[in-house]
Structure 1
Amino acid sequence: MAYTSIHNIKSTVEKAIAYIINPDKCEGYVSGYNCEPDVADIEFRMTAALAEFEKGNYSKCGTGKTNLAYHMIQSFAPDDNITPAQAHEIGQRWADEFLGGKYEYVIATHVNTGIIHNHIIFNATSFYDFKKFDNYKTQKRMRSISDRICMENNLSVIKSRDNGKASYYEWTMKKAGQSWKDHLKESIDAAITQSDSIKDFCDILKIHGIQVSNVDEHEGKYIRFHVEGVKRVCRGRTKTLGADYTRERIIQRIERSIWERSHRFDESQQFAYYVERQSKAQNVERTAELLMVLDTIHTEKLSSTDDIQNRLDGINEKIVQQREKIKEIDDKNVAYKKVASFLATIKKYEPIQFEREMLHGRKLRRYEELHDAELRAYSFAVQQLDKMGLNSSIDLDKVIELIHNRDREIERLKSGIGNIEQQAQQLQKVQSLIKDILRTPHQRSETIR
C-alpha cells in the first residue's frame, strides 16, 4: 500500500534537496534524472534561466516568483515487506511515468523511520520544452500511476472513495471484511431494486437493521442512515458514500428501477433478441474484415503469405533504425541544452557577479549571503563550460536555433515511425485473418469448441 502526496516549493530548493539526500536517512539510495543530486538545485535554476531566455514569460517558464520545484512523497506499508532497492526502483518508475521524462528530479529512499518511503523533488520547469509543470488534477493522476505500479509488484493499494480520497481506517476495515459502509451501500442498492416508493425503500432497510431519516428535504440537507451496531450516523452525500447515494440520486434510482421492471422482456424474448443482434453484427464485421484484407493485398501488391512476413520484417527493421537515429539526435540535443543552460545562467547572473566584484569587507559578505543561490549558479555554469573547453562568448541564440532544428527533426522522425507502425498493425491483422481463412474446416471447428 503506497500513500502519495505532493506540495510545491517556492524557495529554499537547496535545503529541501539537502534534507532528502541526507546519508543518515537514505543510506545511499539516491539518484538523479538529468541532474546530479549534489548540485540539483543549481541545475534546476539553470534550466529556469534558459527557459526565461527562450520564453521571455515568467508566468509560463517558471522563473518568476512562482513554484520553483515540487516535492512528492510515496510511502509504503510495513506489511508489504518491500526492500529499499525495490522501493527506489518503484519510485523511479513512478516519477518517470508521471513526469514523462521532461523534468529533472532527485529521488531518495528513506529507510530510517521503520516505514520505507520515497522523496522526489523535481524541477517546476521542463528541460525538454521549457514549459511550466501543469499541476491540474495532479494528486489523482500521480496516485493512479503509483497504485498501478504497486499492483504490478504485488503490493497493496488503498481503494478510493468517489471523491478520489481514501480513509486509512476504512481501508483496513474493508481489508478485514468489516467495512460497515460497504455493507450499507450494498443494502441500499438491494433495497432500490425492490422498492416502488421511497417509503418502501425505508421499510426494507429497517428490516435489515438500518434506520433512515431526513427523507424529505425540509427535514435536513442530507438523508441519514443509522446502521445497527454502529455509533456514527452516516449522511448520504458524495463525500461520504458516493454520488449514487444522495437523497436525489436514490429517488432517481428507485424511479429508474420501477420503469425497468415494468418494461422488462421475458427471458425467451431477451435471449432471441440478443442472438439476432449479435449474429447480424458478426456477419457485417466479418464482411468488412474480408474487404479490408483484399484492399490491403491489392494496395501492398502481396502475392503470398511470405510476402507479408517479409514486409513486416522490413518494417520492423526500419522502425529500429529510426529509433536509433532519434536517440542519437536526442543525446546530442541534451548536451546542447546543457550548454545553452550554462550560457543563459551566466547571461542572467553576470550583473550580480559584476556587482559582487566591486564590493569589499562587510558589504561583500552581506551581498554574498543575499545572493548566495545566484552566485553559486553563476560559478557552477562557468566551471562546467570551462570543463567542456568552451567559454561564455558563444552565441546563445545560435545554440537555441540548433536545438530547435534538432527538436523538429526528432518530431518528424517520430511521426514517420507512427505511420510505419500503423502499416505494420494493418499487415499483422491481414496476416492473422488469412491464416484463419486458410485453415481447414476441422481446425476452425476445433478452435470454436
Structure 2
Amino acid sequence: MAVTKIIKIKASVESCIDYATNSLKTNNGELVKCIGCELGSAKYSFLTALSNNDYHKSHKDSELVKAYHIIQSFSNDDKITPKEANAIGLEMMERMFGGKYIFICATHTDKGHIHNHIIVSSVESARTGKMINDDLSLLHKLRRTSDQLCREHGLNVIEKPKGRGKSYKEWFEDTNNPKGSKKQQLRDLIDSQIKLSSDFDDFLNHMMEAGAKIETRTSHKYGQVTKYKLPEASENDHWNRGYRLGSGYSNQMITKRIERRIKFEADREALKKERAEANKARRDSMSKAEKAIDRTQLKISSIVDTSKMEITSENYKKIMWYNKQNAMLAERIKGEIKKKYGVSYTEIKSKISKFTAENKRIAQEIRDYKEPIQELRKLIENCQIYIDTFKINERYEASKDPERYYENHDIALNAFAAAEDYLSRKGFDTSFLRDKEKSEKFMTSLRNRLEAAEDTVLTAEEEINKNEKAIAELRKAQKNLDKFHKKNRDEI
C-alpha cells in the first residue's frame, strides 16, 4: 500500500533538493535518481526552466509554484525493497509526465518505513515554458498511477476510498474481514436503511428495527448529531458519530440522500408513465400497416436474457417480443463486426487475441524508444547548460577572488562542472559548443531528433488506444452474442 501526497514549493527549491538527496537518508546517494538532469546541475536546471515561463516572469517570486514535492510512502506490511520503491517512483513519474519535466526521485530509508521524495519541476524541461496543469485532477492522477503500479508490483491498494480517509487499523480490517471493518459495516447498514426510509425519523426507526443502537446529541459545532453502534456491538465498543463515517453520513446528508432518492424514484415513475402514454398515443395514431412495420424495428441495445423469465399468460407475448428483438440485435451485431473487423461471431476471440498481441508488440517498441529519448533529453539539457555557463566558468577561472566569485555563482558553476563531466564521460567534444553558430545548429538538430522520436511514441500510443477501443467493442459484441447463442442452445 502506498500513500501519496503532493506539496507546492513556492519557497526554495534548492533546500528541498538538498533534503531529498541527503546521503544519510538515501544509502549514500545510491537511492537518488535524476531524470532530465544531473544531480550536480539539478538546481540550475530547475531555475532555468522557471525563467522560460512567461507567467513566472510576470509574477512575484513568492506567488510562484516553482516545483512540486511528491511524497510516496509504503506500508511496512508490503515487503518492498528500497530499490523497488525507487523504481516505482521513477515509473510513476514517467507515466504521469512522459519525461517532459525534470525530476529527482530519492528513496529514504531512515524512518520506520520506506518512502520516496520526488521533486518535479513545474515547467517543462524542453524550455517551452509550458507548466504542469495544477488542479485537483493532478492529485487524482497521481493516486491512480501510484495505485496501478502497486497492483502491478503485488502491493496492497485501498480500493475506492470514500469520504474521510481511513486509518491504518480500519484499512487492515477492511482487507482481512470479509464483512469489512465495523465502520464499513455501519456504512453498509445505513445505506440499506436509507433505501427504505421516507424521512430522517423513519430512517432512525428502520435502523432500530434492524437492531442498531442509536443516540442523539446536540453539538454547538455540528447541530444535532446521531451516534451509531452495530446490532451485535458490546457495551465496550465505541460509538460512531455519523459525520465521522464519511461525508454522506451526517444527519443533514442522510436527510438529503433520502430526499434525493424519493425525488429520483418519483421522477423515474413520472418519466415511465410519460413514455408509456406517448407510446400509446403513437401506436393509436398508426395504421395497421404502420403497426406491422413498427413491430419489425429494433428497440433494444443489448441482449435480454429471457431464459429465467417465467412464462405466464400475461407475459407470454412480451417474452416472444424480446426473443424476436434479441434475434434482430444479434444479426445487426454480426453484420457490424463483419463490416468493421472482417470477422464472424466464431472469430471474435481470435481477433481480440490479435489486437492484444499487436498492443504488446507496440508497447515493447515504446519501451525500446524510452531510454534513447531519455538519453537524448539529458544530452540536450547538458549541452544547453554548457553553452549557458561556460563563460561564467571562464570568468571564475580568471577571477582575482575565485572564492567570492564562486559564492555568488555557485549554482551555475556547479551546473557547468556537472555538464562538463557528463559530456566528457560520453566522449563528447565540447569545443564547438563555444561557437554560437555551430552550437545553435547542433542544438536544433538534436531537438528535431527528439521531436521525431517523441512523435513516433505518440503515434504508437494512439495506435494502442485505438486497438483498446476495438477490443472493448469486440468484447461487448461477444458478450451479447454469447448470451444470445447460449439461450438458443439451452432451448435446443
Query: Normalising by the residue count of structure 2, what TM-score does the alignment of the two structures yield?
Result: 0.63
Distance 1:430 1:232 in 2: 46
The equivalent residue for 2:258 is: 250
SS of alignment partner, residue 103 of structure 1: coil
Which of residues 237, 241, 263 in structure 2 aligns to 1:233? 241
Query: How far did residue 339 of structure 1 move?
Result: 5.2
Distance 2:135 2:411 in 1: 29
Calculate percent identity across the aligned residue pairs: 21
One-letter code aligned to 1:199: D
The equivalent residue for 1:341 is: 381
Distance 2:141 2:194 in 1: 33
Which of residues 286, 298, 303 in structure 1 aligns to 2:331? 286
Which of residues 105, 108, 112 in structure 2 aligns to 1:107? 105
**Cα shift readout 1:25-70 (whole Å, capped 9, x = no counterpart):** 333652525357xx42514523653674xx5625399997734433
Query: Does the CA contact (< 8 Å) of 2:164 and 2:245 recur in 1?
Result: no
Query: Does the CA contact (< 8 Å) of 1:71 and 1:120 recur in 2?
Result: yes
Query: Does the CA contact (< 8 Å) of 2:32 and 2:106 recur in 1?
Result: yes
Query: Does the CA contact (< 8 Å) of 2:227 and 2:241 recur in 1?
Result: yes
Q: What aligned pairs does 1:75-94 form with structure 2 within 5 A after superposition? A: 75-94=73-92
**Cα shift readout 1:335-368 (whole Å, capped 9, x = no counterpart):** 665455345435655786677578645xx64453
Distance 1:62 1:189 in 2: 49
Tell me: CA distance 1:104–1:274, structure 2 relative to 1, closer, same or farther (3 Å).
Answer: farther
Q: Does 1:373 align with 2:411?
A: yes
The equivalent residue for 1:45 is: 44
Distance 1:61 1:343 in 2: 28
Query: Does the CA contact (< 8 Å) of 2:107 and 2:114 recur in 1?
Result: yes
Query: Does the CA contact (< 8 Å) of 2:362 and 2:464 recur in 1?
Result: no
The equivalent residue for 2:2 is: 2
Q: What aligned pairs does 1:32-181 form with structure 2 within 5 A after superposition? A: 32-35=33-36, 39-40=38-39, 42-43=41-42, 45-46=44-45, 49=48, 52=51, 55=52, 57=54, 59=56, 66-128=64-126, 130=128, 131-137=130-136, 138-159=138-159, 161-163=161-163, 165-175=165-175, 177=177, 179-181=181-183
SS of alignment partner, residue 80 of structure 1: coil
Tell me: CA distance 1:426–1:116, structure 2 relative to 1, closer, same or farther (3 Å).
Answer: closer
Q: What aligned pairs does 1:261-280 form with structure 2 within 5 A after superposition? A: 276=321, 280=325
SS of alignment partner, residue 123 of structure 2: coil
The equivalent residue for 1:439 is: none
Query: Does the CA contact (< 8 Å) of 2:105 and 2:118 recur in 1?
Result: yes
Distance 1:366 1:445 in 2: 89
Which of residues 437, 441, 445 in structure 2 aligns to 1:402? 445
SS of alignment partner, residue 133 of structure 2: coil
Query: Over aligned residues, Cα RMSD in angstroms?
Result: 5.4
The equivalent residue for 2:212 is: 209
Tell me: CA distance 1:295–1:383, structure 2 relative to 1, closer, same or farther (3 Å).
Answer: closer
Count how many residue pairs are aligned between Structure 1 and Structure 2: 417
Query: Does the CA contact (< 8 Å) of 1:48 and 1:61 recur in 2?
Result: no
The equivalent residue for 1:388 is: 428
One-letter code aligned to 1:113: K
SS of alignment partner, residue 371 of structure 1: helix
One-letter code aligned to 1:139: L
Tell me: CA distance 1:273–1:78, structure 2 relative to 1, closer, same or farther (3 Å).
Answer: farther
Query: Does the CA contact (< 8 Å) of 1:205 and 1:212 recur in 2?
Result: no
Tell me: CA distance 1:380–1:255, structure 2 relative to 1, closer, same or farther (3 Å).
Answer: closer
The equivalent residue for 1:302 is: none
Q: Show structure 2 runs of 5+ residues with no match.
A: 230-236, 274-308, 476-484
Q: Bigger CA drift: 239-248 or 205-214? A: 239-248
Distance 2:158 2:365 in 1: 38
Distance 2:153 2:252 in 1: 33
Q: What aligned pairs does 1:293-308 form with structure 2 within 5 A after superposition? A: 293-294=338-339
Tell me: CA distance 1:411–1:191, structure 2 relative to 1, closer, same or farther (3 Å).
Answer: same
SS of alignment partner, residue 78 of structure 1: coil
Query: How far did residue 204 of structure 1 move?
Result: 1.5
Query: Does the CA contact (< 8 Å) of 1:75 and 1:115 recur in 2?
Result: yes
Query: Does the CA contact (< 8 Å) of 1:238 and 1:245 recur in 2?
Result: no
Distance 2:358 2:181 in 1: 52
Distance 1:147 1:291 in 2: 37
**Cα shift readout 1:114-139 (whole Å, capped 9, x = no counterpart):** 42223333333333574323332233
Query: Normalising by the residue count of structure 1, what TM-score does the alignment of the two structures yield?
Result: 0.68
SS of alignment partner, residue 4 of structure 1: strand
Tell me: CA distance 1:401–1:62, structure 2 relative to 1, closer, same or farther (3 Å).
Answer: farther
Query: Does the CA contact (< 8 Å) of 2:213 and 2:228 recur in 1?
Result: yes
Distance 1:83 1:152 in 2: 15
Tell me: CA distance 1:373–1:255, structure 2 relative to 1, closer, same or farther (3 Å).
Answer: same
The equivalent residue for 1:301 is: none
Query: How far did residue 85 of structure 1 move?
Result: 3.8
SS of alignment partner, residue 195 of structure 2: helix
Query: Does the CA contact (< 8 Å) of 1:4 and 1:74 recur in 2?
Result: yes
